[in-house]
A and B are shown apart, each in its own frame.
Chain A
Amino acid sequence: MAQAKESGEDDIILKLENVHMYFGRVAALAGVDLEVKKGEIHSIIGPNGAGKTVMMNCINGLYKPQRGSIYYKGRQINDLKPHQRAKLGISRTFQKIELFGGMTVLDNIRLGRHIHLKTGILSGSIYVGKTKKEELKTRKFIEEEIIDLLEIESIRDKTVHMLPYGLQKRVELGRALALNPELLLLDEPLAGLNLEEVEDMARFILDINEEERWKVTCILVEHDMGVVMDISNRVLVLNFGNKIMDGTPEEVQHNPDVIKAYLGEEDLYATRR
């Protein structure tokens, strides 16, 4: 296990080393490196099919890379299943909303607390006593920390699949937050939202990244360059599974390779506003 070799590696929460992921003979990731520092918002950008979501899935454990290593807080996590990685504090949202459609908003967020609950089938079937106390504690946490933060008080008892898209995205963020993660993977949290919702969502991401209560490190995959350049600390640019560059937003905006591969000559990234 590669424990912190040099000083300063302590702040690195996630490290990918030479990660390869093939589907048949298509290289979705061809030797990508990434270092995410604690407390940062690290964005991943690139054209469609660049391997951004594949990278998220590798970090989260849904895909197992054929080569390369993934370290989380200095510990190699290649062989851990997604649910084991969730217990370590890695949470995520999905590009295409993956909520539990038949459950209410509250239940969806309650489910995010899963790893923090201890109820088994015996105490659960009796309910009175231990489980009830635990459920009430969960409810208090959800109401005060998450529903209040994301301003979804009015929809807490609604069934999720009846909600408009923007609110569903917000609920999904709430569910991921309920896990109390240290590393949050956000896969296109702004896709399909209107301008106001984009502003809200960007605000929420900054809140959970900066507020003393949360201090969550975020990895953000997003196409809205205005937001990405505004809120990221660092940006990784991918193209066809290869890393083009990794740097601050300013460096990325002026890198000729990046402009050629993705951003384009004009000031497209300035915004869609």
Chain B
Amino acid sequence: MSGVWLPCGDYHQTYSEDQGWWQTTFIKTKMILLLAIMFLGIPLLAPEYWVGVANMVGYTAMGALGVQLLIGYTGLITLGHAAFIAVGAYTSTLLVLRFPWPEFIVHWGLSYPISIIVAGIFAGFWSVLFGLPSAKVKGFYLILTTMAAQFITVDFILTQYVSRIGGRGQAFSLPPGTIHVGPWVIDSDRKIYYVMAVLLTLMVIVMANLLRSKPGRAWVAIRDNDIAAEALGINIVWYKLLAFFVAGFFGGLAGAFWISNTAALSPEHFPWFWSLWLVGVILIGGVGSIHGTIFGSLFMVVVMELLQWAVIPLSEYYPKLLIDFAYIKDSAFGLAICAFLIYEPNGLAYRWWQVKNYFNLWPFSY
């Protein structure tokens, strides 16, 4: 196994090798290089502005992972995922700002890390609550029940009640320096980036692990054929709710991460459009693929960012462009989705797979 660069020279002698993740030296080198860029290259070398963009990519990817799990792997279409992100963000904020932590926890900077986990678990259970209808309904009907999650959670509970706790009006302010992780104060884009990179890496590992063990297979089985899945001993309702829990957990983590990246938290950060946006991300990236989620987030955030760069010089001649930028962004989102559905319905992940396959065999044609 070691020292093999191309898969065609790679012969496995144990099942453990055959099921391993990074099978050839080439892939190992590639992945280590990728991690090095992610953990050292970007935070140390990239300009502050692009680190901020990378944070947005990470946040989008964290949110979209949960959507990917529900839509891409379990076949449960959801249009209310922003609700669970919001629940995570609010849980974490309330814990950090208002929970009477023991002195040593605050001293060691553990209140935020603990709140991230609690936010995940709470958002997970919140998600299960709105996943309950999935026991009975499928497809289009489920879209509506998940949209109910969005409106009940964000527009009603959070806006009307939660965000008024403490009489602050609509927003919780999170001045720089509120968020600590251990001895570090998270007050710059580069520090936020590290929080994001660690969280996202852990989430991707967890998701990939789940998908190669019992729960993940059960989810894919439910997506592909729920009748056969039940006949083979899968408790469909239980596994659907488990999918909602894990997706909500990921959403909660994403929300808890988001509060490190914002100075004030308000329900407007989690509009219904954000739920829709996350679905767009996985459509463009590739439904049913983890790296598709990352590709989709990269594409959406970076393209929108470039669009901004294109609009700024043009606005000299046509100033209204800048004012209307929000609408331009939305139309670009719509156009991108249309283009992908027509020309590459399997998403960027499929293109990536094709390129990889081509180079697996290169220079031979088969």
* A interface, CB within 8 angstroms of B: 60-62, 81-83, 86-87, 91-92, 94, 98-103, 107, 110-112, 114-115, 117-121, 123-127, 131-132, 134-136, 139-140, 143, 175-176, 179
Counting CB contacts under 8 A, is B198 at the interface?
Answer: no
Which of chain A's residues have a CB closer than 8 A to the CB of B259? none
Is B234 a contact of A83 with CB atoms below 8 Å? yes
Which of chain A's residues have a CB closer than 8 A to the CB of B235? 81, 83
From B78-86, B212-220, B299-307, the one touching the partner chain is B212-220
A131 vs chain B, min Cβ distance (A): 5
B350 vs chain A, min Cβ distance (A): 13
Known contacts A117-B214, A120-B215, A127-B209; is A62 also within 8 Å of B231 by CB?
Answer: yes
Contact of A114 among B15, B212, B214, B245 (CB under 8 A): B214
Known contacts A83-B230, A98-B228, A179-B232; is A136 also within 8 Å of B19 by CB?
Answer: yes
Contact of B224 among A81, A102, A117 (CB under 8 A): A102
Is B215 a contact of A86 with CB atoms below 8 Å? no
Give A112 to B215 CA distance when docked, in angstroms: 13
Give A126 to B209 CA distance when docked, in angstroms: 7
Which of chain A's residues have a CB closer than 8 A to the CB of B15? 136, 139-140, 143
Give A134 to B224 CA distance when docked, in angstroms: 24
| B 256-296 to A, binary, CB cutoff 8 A, 1 in contact else 0 | 00000000000000000000000000000000100000000
Is B210 a contact of A121 with CB atoms below 8 Å? yes
Counting CB contacts under 8 A, is B89 at the interface?
Answer: no
Q: Is the interface of A mostly helix, strand, loop or mixed?
A: helix
Known contacts A92-B231, A136-B16; is A102 also within 8 Å of B223 by CB?
Answer: yes
Is A100 a contact of B214 with CB atoms below 8 Å? no
Which of chain B's residues have a CB closer than 8 A to the CB of A101? 224-225
Is B232 a contact of A112 with CB atoms below 8 Å? yes
Task: Show 8 residue pairs from A and B whose CB-CB distance is below 8 angstroms, ordered by the A residue.
Answer: A81-B235, A83-B232, A91-B231, A110-B217, A115-B233, A117-B213, A124-B215, A179-B233
Which of chain B's residues have a CB closer than 8 A to the CB of A60? 231
Known contacts A111-B217, A135-B212, A140-B15; is A100 also within 8 Å of B225 by CB?
Answer: yes
**A-B CB pair tally, cutoff 8 Å:** 115
Counting CB contacts under 8 A, is B246 at the interface?
Answer: yes
Which of chain A's residues have a CB closer than 8 A to the CB of B224? 99-103
> Could you list 18 further interchain pairs (A-B, Cβ under 8 angstroms) beyond the known A111-B229, A121-B242, A124-B210?
A83-B235, A98-B225, A100-B228, A101-B225, A102-B220, A112-B232, A115-B232, A115-B233, A118-B214, A121-B215, A121-B245, A124-B209, A125-B209, A125-B210, A126-B209, A132-B16, A135-B19, A143-B15
Which of chain B's residues have a CB closer than 8 A to the CB of A86? 230-233
Residue of B nearest to A131 (CB): B213
Give A111 to B225 CA distance when docked, in angstroms: 12
Counting CB contacts under 8 A, is B355 at the interface?
Answer: no
Is A124 a contact of B213 with CB atoms below 8 Å? yes
Is A111 a contact of B221 with CB atoms below 8 Å? yes
Is B242 a contact of A114 with CB atoms below 8 Å? no
Which of chain B's residues have a CB closer than 8 A to the CB of A179? 232-233
Give A100 to B219 CA distance when docked, in angstroms: 11
Counting CB contacts under 8 A, is B236 at the interface?
Answer: yes
Is A127 a contact of B212 with CB atoms below 8 Å? yes
Is B231 a contact of A114 with CB atoms below 8 Å? no
Which of chain B's residues have a CB closer than 8 A to the CB of A103? 217, 220-221, 224
Which of A92, A119, A121, A135 lies at the interface centre, i.e. has the most chain B CB atoms within 10 A of its CB? Answer: A121
Chain A to chain B: the 6 pairs with minimum beta-carbon distance, closest first: A86-B233, A100-B224, A127-B209, A115-B233, A98-B228, A124-B213
Give A117 to B221 CA distance when docked, in angstroms: 15
The residues in B between 122 and 175 inclusive whose CB is less than 8 angstroms from any CB of A are none
Which of A91, A112, A124, A127 lies at the interface centre, i.e. has the most chain B CB atoms within 10 A of its CB? Answer: A124
| B 1-41 to A, binary, CB cutoff 8 A, 1 in contact else 0 | 00000000000000110110000000000000000000000
Is B236 a contact of A119 with CB atoms below 8 Å? no
Which of chain B's residues have a CB closer than 8 A to the CB of A81? 230, 235
Which of chain B's residues have a CB closer than 8 A to the CB of A118? 214
Counting CB contacts under 8 A, is B323 at the interface?
Answer: no
Is A99 a contact of B225 with CB atoms below 8 Å? yes
Give A30 to B220 CA distance when docked, in angstroms: 38
Residue of B nearest to A140 (CB): B15
A103 vs chain B, min Cβ distance (A): 6
Which of chain B's residues have a CB closer than 8 A to the CB of A94? 228, 231
Counting CB contacts under 8 A, is B310 at the interface?
Answer: no
Counting CB contacts under 8 A, is B227 at the interface?
Answer: yes
Give A120 to B218 CA distance when docked, in angstroms: 11
B26 vs chain A, min Cβ distance (A): 19
Counting CB contacts under 8 A, is B342 at the interface?
Answer: no
Is A102 a contact of B288 with CB atoms below 8 Å? yes
Which of chain B's residues have a CB closer than 8 A to the CB of A117? 213-214
Counting CB contacts under 8 A, is B45 at the interface?
Answer: no
A260 vs chain B, min Cβ distance (A): 35
Give A115 to B228 CA distance when docked, in angstroms: 14
Residue of B nearest to A114 (CB): B233
Give A5 to B181 CA distance when docked, in angstroms: 70
Give A52 to B358 CA distance when docked, in angstroms: 49
Give A100 to B15 CA distance when docked, in angstroms: 23
Give A73 to B166 CA distance when docked, in angstroms: 63
Which of chain A's residues have a CB closer than 8 A to the CB of B221? 100, 103, 111
B252 vs chain A, min Cβ distance (A): 15
Known contacts A100-B221, A111-B218, A114-B214; is A125 also within 8 Å of B232 by CB?
Answer: no
Give A121 to B216 CA distance when docked, in angstroms: 9
Give A139 to B17 CA distance when docked, in angstroms: 12
Give A143 to B223 CA distance when docked, in angstroms: 25
